[in-house]
Chain A
Amino acid sequence: MLGGLARVTDDTSDRRGVLVSDPAGQLAKDVWVVGSEPVAAPRIVARARPDDEAVFVPAMSASIAMVPRVLSDLYWFGRYAERAEDLLRLLLATRTVAIEADLEVTHGRALDVMLHAVTHVSTTYPGFLTTQAEMMPEFRSMLLDRHRTGTAAHSLGALSMAAQGVRDQLSEDVWMVLAEIERALATLAANPHDQGIQLTDISERVLSGLLALAGIATENMVRDAGWYMLDSGRGLERALQILALLRATICQTRSPETDRTVLEAVLIAAESIVTFRRRYRAGSGVDALLELLLIDPYNPRSVGFQLQRIRTDLRALPNTSPTARPLRLLDSLAERVRTSDPVVLAESVDGHRSGLQNLLLGLHNQLRALSEAIRDHYQQQPPTQRPMFRPDAVGGTA
């Protein structure tokens, strides 16, 4: 290499001497080898192979290098991106409710419902289920606490980790977007006295980054096995998130005012409020919401749509017979969603929509089973290598 990697340090007090110093304190330098004349690019010639005539090998015929680990990383890339996006939408919707809550008492109860939903959907227990949880610190933790499972920060960290494992598969734009998200979060972290204004602002910035990520996936990535895996992960996660949100919010009836606020917040969090207003007459209730978010096969935010999407993705993957287990599970799921009647589901007895609750729970479990089936079918990792002797030489985690 005509050049290299230079490292310098600015720490002159290093007791280790001049040769070695702490890598953290070091600074890299580019090494330029310059000439007095313009430099001609060297010609690099491959050793001739026998019968090598530089034949064009069509890439379409070559099998795609997709090992199960890469597929798994891309699948989780899709899932974590969607999980982070949905949680941010829910946080922003809840924040909107909270701003209104100071004015009216009914909103206060709606706020409680939404706060509990945040905890249930993100599974960051105990979260708002304890009485002393305060909204702003908890939201802040949702955005910044990487080590707490279920937070947006946790999902973003896992997203970045999954991306790192498949760096050779991804567009370089991905890193630009992820860096922008990191910068936004760092801005928030640097301001511990924020009263919520910056938090909202940052959430929106992170959300727009995640939307950019979705755009990159749609516009920049070749439709190969990896992309279909990523897209199915995204669809599956979105379906799970919608189900969790519905379970946490509309399975109980409350006062009409509270229900109305909750309904709107759910629609905002599920990014379907505009369609809802346009399509249904004023005063439409849970039945309309269920049709739009659960059954509608044309709303890209509905469960029904995700099931179709996952189906298309899986059919496009090699090694998928029409009777493969993931497809069979998908068929029964889609059938169950298609045949449900929103009017019946919206009926409540003693303030409970037990029929709806059972359906949502059932769908949730079936989706989990589907995710496992996808993992088993496409991402089967080999069993962990372990030695047959010297077990004592192996660390505690082996």
Chain B
Amino acid sequence: MTVLRRYLAAASESITAAREPVFDEFAAADGTARQGWSSLLAGLDEFADTDLLQAQHDVVRLLEDDNVTYTPNPASAMSIADEPNGHPHPDMPIPEGLVEPQPWRLDPLPLIIDDREWAGLEAGLVQRAQLLDAIMADLYGARRLLSRHHIPAAAIFDHDEYLRPLVGSGTPTGQRLFLVAADLGRDSSGGWKVISDRTQAPSGAGYAMQNRRVVSRVMPEIYHQANLHRLTPFFQAMRLALVDAAPHAVEDPRVVVLSPGTLSETAFDQAFVASLLGFPLLEGSDLTVRDGRVWMRVLDKLEQVDVILRRVDSGWMDALELRPDSRLGVAGLLACVAGDGQRVEQSRQWRVGESCAYAAATRSVRANARPITATALCRYMVVRRPVSIEPRLEQSGLSGHSADQQGSWPQRPGGSTDEAAARIARGQDQGGAASLCRAGDAAPVVRADERGRSAGSPQRGAPLVRRPQR
């Protein structure tokens, strides 16, 4: 009997025996593999029995070869428990100096989801993105949500990332969000829950693509055998949408990716996405504002920039209007955007963020890209340990980690996820909403580097670049 078969049998028993409802990502209650997994079961079975250890070594090597790193940010390790008021925990050490980039860790076995299930999820996420976009439009436009007391005004006006300079500068298309991401988890019945929304400058698409590349190389047979939806259309769509965001009068729009620098938390993701899209990766100091337009400092001249895919958090993007201590952004950027009817805004408290891309040119500017396909809107999901398969795989020795928690299966995420989702849905618990943001922030794939550092930290606002000296 193979490892996976043994696992299925054991899972079936334990699911039946459990007092509370349990969801297993891999095994259904009757001891069969779930839809999606089942067609690949034979291949996975063989793979898990023979090649898994080798695959794990290969994954490490391939990730090293591409220098895939993630720079941990201590603030991102904070959780709901640490941060009841949305303030950093006093005991949380803020390190002096710079944190070394850590290697990206990847498990060779993928998480498989049937596309029929995904279709429902996708529809929900698209709808959610549309809702967030509508909320954004209202908060920076007519503000009917405030005047009708759907949202307490203080929650918005007191929020330091509500960008007043942009209030009232409408966009022709009315669309503000370019890229939306959602962190998802499952409850104990297997229903998907959104844990947090990512509207600021979502990261992770590059990591997802890199994961796919590596996994397809270590298990090529199964990869080809699977009727797998590819990731490349997403990047094609994103590229087109970015070009499309430029003013129509511009013939060959210049699109750039604005990064906080090589020491930011997800520097790899930013650089990799830039190279996948084929747009130059720039930092704030590479851009400048003249005559109400954004320019790129090229060798001997300035060159106009039409669209910026922003990976710097909005609060840091303009030292003139927003955080004066920020050196990550471009001074005067906001005025350009507002003057042109561009939108760069967000309200983090409500997890209503802003578009990543906005045209930065003058004249008749169409602000944000309209997503071209549904796949371009529903970005990606971050499933943060909702999956009960992991610890169990360990138990069966599958994942190669030590199995010291034999027999003690972890709590299902059901309770807390439900509660969190409910609070988001009700939208009534301000403290809860704020701390939930934090909870989401703990996902390392999601945050830009600098938010959440305490005031006076030497790193704050400094460019996240180390220049060679000598």
Residues of chain A at the chain B interface (Cβ within 8 Å): 1-10, 12-13, 15-24, 26-39, 41-42, 44-47, 49-50, 57, 62-72, 76, 79-80, 149, 158, 160-162, 164-168, 172, 175-176, 178-179, 182-183, 225, 317-319, 378, 381-382, 384-387, 389-390, 393-398
> Considering the chains assembled together, what is the distance between the CA atoms of A384 and B284 in angstroms?
11
Beyond A12-B408, A28-B104, A395-B456, list 20 extra A-B contacts (CB 8 Å).
Answer: A1-B231, A6-B382, A12-B410, A16-B81, A17-B416, A22-B77, A26-B444, A33-B113, A36-B227, A39-B230, A66-B299, A161-B468, A164-B67, A164-B271, A166-B281, A168-B280, A317-B299, A319-B300, A387-B325, A395-B458
Interchain CB contact under 8 A, A47 and B244: yes
Whether B378 sits at the interface, judged by CB under 8 Å, is yes
> Considering the chains assembled together, what is the distance between the CA atoms of A31 and B109 in angstroms?
9
Some 14 contacts from A to B, beta carbons below 8 A apart, are A4-B208, A4-B380, A7-B444, A23-B443, A24-B102, A27-B390, A39-B228, A39-B230, A42-B373, A65-B254, A389-B324, A394-B324, A395-B325, A398-B461
What chain B residues lie within 8 Å of A381 (beta carbons)?
Answer: 285
Interchain CB contact under 8 A, B465 and A41: no
What chain A residues lie within 8 Å of B106 (beta carbons)?
Answer: 27-30
Whether B399 sits at the interface, judged by CB under 8 Å, is yes
When the two chains form the complex, which single residue of B237, B412, B461 contacts A395, counting CB atoms closer than 8 Å? B461
When the two chains form the complex, which single residue of A10, A24, A65 contacts B390, counting CB atoms closer than 8 Å? A10
Interchain CB contact under 8 A, B280 and A10: no
> Considering the chains assembled together, what is the distance between the CA atoms of A382 and B115 in angstroms?
50
Q: How far is the CB of B314 from chain A (nearest CB, A)?
A: 17
> Considering the chains assembled together, what is the distance between the CA atoms of A398 and B387 in angstroms?
44
Q: How far is the CB of A221 from chain B (nearest CB, A)?
A: 14
Q: Smallest CB-CB separation from B78: which chain A residue? A: A20
Per-residue A-contact encoding for B130-168, CB less than 8 Å = 1, 0 else: 000000000000000000000000000000000000000
Q: How far is the CB of B327 from chain A (nearest CB, A)?
A: 5
Q: Smallest CB-CB separation from A22: which chain B residue? A: B77
Interchain CB contact under 8 A, B207 and A5: yes
Interchain CB contact under 8 A, A8 and B385: yes
Interchain CB contact under 8 A, A395 and B72: no
> Considering the chains assembled together, what is the distance between the CA atoms of A42 and B373 in angstroms?
9
Q: Which 5 A-B pairs have the closest CB atoms?
A: A319-B300, A23-B444, A387-B324, A2-B229, A20-B79
Interchain CB contact under 8 A, B80 and A17: yes
When the two chains form the complex, which single residue of B39, B229, B382, B413 contacts A18, counting CB atoms closer than 8 Å? B413
- The answer to whether A34 and B226 touch (CB under 8 A), given A1-B231, A6-B387, A47-B244, is yes
- The answer to whether A161 and B262 touch (CB under 8 A), given A19-B413, A30-B111, is yes
Q: How far is the CB of A63 from chain B (nearest CB, A)?
A: 6
Whether B22 sits at the interface, judged by CB under 8 Å, is no
Q: Smallest CB-CB separation from A164: which chain B residue? A: B262
Interface secondary structure of A, over-half rule: loop
When the two chains form the complex, which single residue of A3, A17, A67 contacts B212, counting CB atoms closer than 8 Å? A3
- The answer to whether A18 and B416 touch (CB under 8 A), given A34-B229, A225-B299, is yes
Interchain CB contact under 8 A, A6 and B468: no
What chain A residues lie within 8 Å of B122 (beta carbons)?
Answer: 2
> Considering the chains assembled together, what is the distance between the CA atoms of A24 and B265 in angstroms?
13
Interchain CB contact under 8 A, B240 and A46: yes
Total contacting residues, chain B, CB less than 8 A: 133
When the two chains form the complex, which single residue of B110, B233, B442 contacts A20, counting CB atoms closer than 8 Å? B442
What chain A residues lie within 8 Å of B61 (beta carbons)?
Answer: 179
What chain A residues lie within 8 Å of B3 (beta carbons)?
Answer: none
Interchain CB contact under 8 A, A69 and B285: yes
Q: How far is the CB of A26 from chain B (nearest CB, A)?
A: 7
When the two chains form the complex, which single residue of A19, A41, A387 contacts B420, counting CB atoms closer than 8 Å? A19
Q: Smallest CB-CB separation from B465: which chain A residue? A: A165
What chain A residues lie within 8 Å of B268 (beta carbons)?
Answer: 167
Q: How far is the CB of B390 from chain A (nearest CB, A)?
A: 4
Interchain CB contact under 8 A, B385 and A9: yes
- The answer to whether A1 and B252 touch (CB under 8 A), given A7-B445, A34-B40, A79-B468, is no
Whether B19 sits at the interface, judged by CB under 8 Å, is no
When the two chains form the complex, which single residue of A27, A44, A225 contacts B105, counting CB atoms closer than 8 Å? A27
Whether B375 sits at the interface, judged by CB under 8 Å, is yes
Q: Smallest CB-CB separation from B269: which chain A residue? A: A5
> Considering the chains assembled together, what is the distance between the CA atoms of A79 and B459 in angstroms?
27
Whether B381 sits at the interface, judged by CB under 8 Å, is yes
> Considering the chains assembled together, what is the distance between the CA atoms of A381 and B284 in angstroms?
11
- The answer to whether A378 and B248 touch (CB under 8 A), given A5-B208, A10-B401, is no
Interchain CB contact under 8 A, A17 and B111: no
B436-457 contacts to A, CB under 8 A, are 439, 442-445, 455-457
Interchain CB contact under 8 A, A28 and B107: yes
Q: Smallest CB-CB separation from A75: which chain B residue? A: B468
> Considering the chains assembled together, what is the distance between the CA atoms of A2 and B212 in angstroms?
12
Interchain CB contact under 8 A, B325 and A394: yes
Whether B339 sits at the interface, judged by CB under 8 Å, is no
Q: How far is the CB of B48 from chain A (nearest CB, A)?
A: 14
> Considering the chains assembled together, what is the distance between the CA atoms of A49 and B245 in angstroms?
11
What chain A residues lie within 8 Å of B391 (beta carbons)?
Answer: 10, 12
Q: How far is the CB of A102 from chain B (nearest CB, A)?
A: 35
What chain B residues lie within 8 Å of A398 (beta carbons)?
Answer: 325, 327, 461-462
Interchain CB contact under 8 A, B243 and A76: no
What chain A residues lie within 8 Å of B367 (beta carbons)?
Answer: none
Whether B275 sits at the interface, judged by CB under 8 Å, is yes
- The answer to whether A37 and B227 touch (CB under 8 A), given A12-B408, A397-B458, is yes
Interchain CB contact under 8 A, A9 and B411: no
Interchain CB contact under 8 A, B372 and A69: no
- The answer to whether A34 and B39 touch (CB under 8 A), given A63-B298, A71-B299, is yes
B63-103 contacts to A, CB under 8 A, are 64-67, 70, 72, 76-77, 79-82, 102
Interchain CB contact under 8 A, A80 and B233: no
> Considering the chains assembled together, what is the distance between the CA atoms of A24 and B69 in angstroms?
11
Interchain CB contact under 8 A, A23 and B76: yes
Q: How far is the CB of B466 from chain A (nearest CB, A)?
A: 6
What chain A residues lie within 8 Å of B282 (beta carbons)?
Answer: 67, 69
Q: How far is the CB of A167 from chain B (nearest CB, A)?
A: 4
Q: How far is the CB of A247 from chain B (nearest CB, A)?
A: 17
Interchain CB contact under 8 A, A5 and B382: yes
What chain B residues lie within 8 Å of A69 (beta carbons)?
Answer: 282-283, 285-286, 465
Interchain CB contact under 8 A, B394 and A10: yes
> Considering the chains assembled together, what is the distance between the CA atoms of A30 and B61 in angstroms?
17
Per-residue A-contact encoding for B187-209, CB less than 8 Å = 1, 0 else: 00000000100000000110110
Interchain CB contact under 8 A, B324 and A395: no
What chain A residues lie within 8 Å of B349 (beta carbons)?
Answer: none
Whether B6 sits at the interface, judged by CB under 8 Å, is no
What chain B residues lie within 8 Å of A66 (beta carbons)?
Answer: 298-299
> Considering the chains assembled together, what is the distance between the CA atoms of A176 and B67 in angstroms?
8
Interchain CB contact under 8 A, A179 and B67: yes
What chain B residues lie within 8 Å of A70 (beta carbons)?
Answer: 280, 286
Whether B57 sits at the interface, judged by CB under 8 Å, is no
- The answer to whether A165 and B262 touch (CB under 8 A), given A32-B112, A37-B227, A395-B460, is yes
Interchain CB contact under 8 A, B230 and A183: no
Per-residue A-contact encoding for B286-326, CB less than 8 Å = 1, 0 else: 10100000001111100100000000000000010000110
